[in-house]
Amino acid sequence: MLSYQHAYHAGNLADVHKHALLSSALDYLTRKDKALSYFETHAGRGLYHLDGVEARKTGEAAQGIARVADWFAPDHPYARARAVVAAEHGAAAYPGSPLIAAALLRGFDNMTLAELHPAEVTALRQAMPQRYVQVLQEDGLAMALSRTPPEPRRGLMLIDPSYEVKTDYDRIPDLIAKLHRKWNVGVIMLWYPVLANLAHLMMAQALRMRFPDALSHEVRFPPARPGHGMIGSGIFVLNPPFGLQDEATRLTARYAGL
């Protein structure tokens, strides 16, 4: 359960999909001068280096953000967040979702980040800027239930498991239903891999049946290497912010051209 290391996959085409939609959602939510609560259930280390051994070993970033960076104009929130991180950490630095959120949120917004892996927690605490943020070494899905509804009630939660624990696919529809009952105004964003073996399919179908008004968006892309099981990326959003569907539609066209 603690073996997953996102450094091997940071900046891949699934990250691009997830981070483009996350940054677009946060960009809209921060236009109103009211505080937000932001949560992540599987935060990782927050900061990655695309010239590092891990990224070079898999080549996923080279096929991902290095290849498609021009999809995003400089004023796109994803590009703005990446520019903030590059200015502080260098051109090869890539922000995980915690640093993307930190670049877009305001000083009066609250951040709560959960991560189980001890080394990742240590790195995350070092990577996060000096602002109000809680980094918790605990199970993220348990944290999600225990910390909602938050104060302030406006906000977004990113649920982003590695899915190494295969029961996650079975647990997540019920978890999201419970979260939505407790925090019915929260934007709840789930990322999942689209897999050649269809392990994700029943979960995705269950979520669409339970929440027909949610934003459900999937993109496809070539596998990172021969035999690699991930062939796409999925995002499911309860209470999607205005304009998020437009960004999803734009991304559909971009991924179709790969």
Catalytic residues: 160
Cα–Cα distance, 206 to 143 (Å, whole number): 23
Closest by CA to 132, choosing from 155, 102, 89, 88, is 102
φ, ψ of residue 22 in degrees (nearest 5)? -60, -45
Give the residue ranges of DSSP H helices in the chain. Answer: 13-29, 53-58, 60-63, 65-68, 77-89, 97-104, 118-127, 140-146, 168-182, 201-210, 244-256
- 21, 248 contact by CB (below 8 A): yes
Closest by CA to 97, choosing from 220, 201, 190, 219, is 190
Q: How remote is the C-alpha of 139 from its chain's centroid?
A: 17
Strands, sheet with 230-238, edge to edge from the N-terminal-most edge strand: 133-136, 110-114, 37-40, 155-159, 187-195, 230-238, 215-220
Cα–Cα distance, 128 to 148 (Å, whole number): 23
Give residue 91's identity as a one-letter amino acid code: A
Number of neighbouring beta carbons within 10 Å of residue 92: 15
Question: Hunting for tokens 């483009």 — which residue is that?
Answer: 20
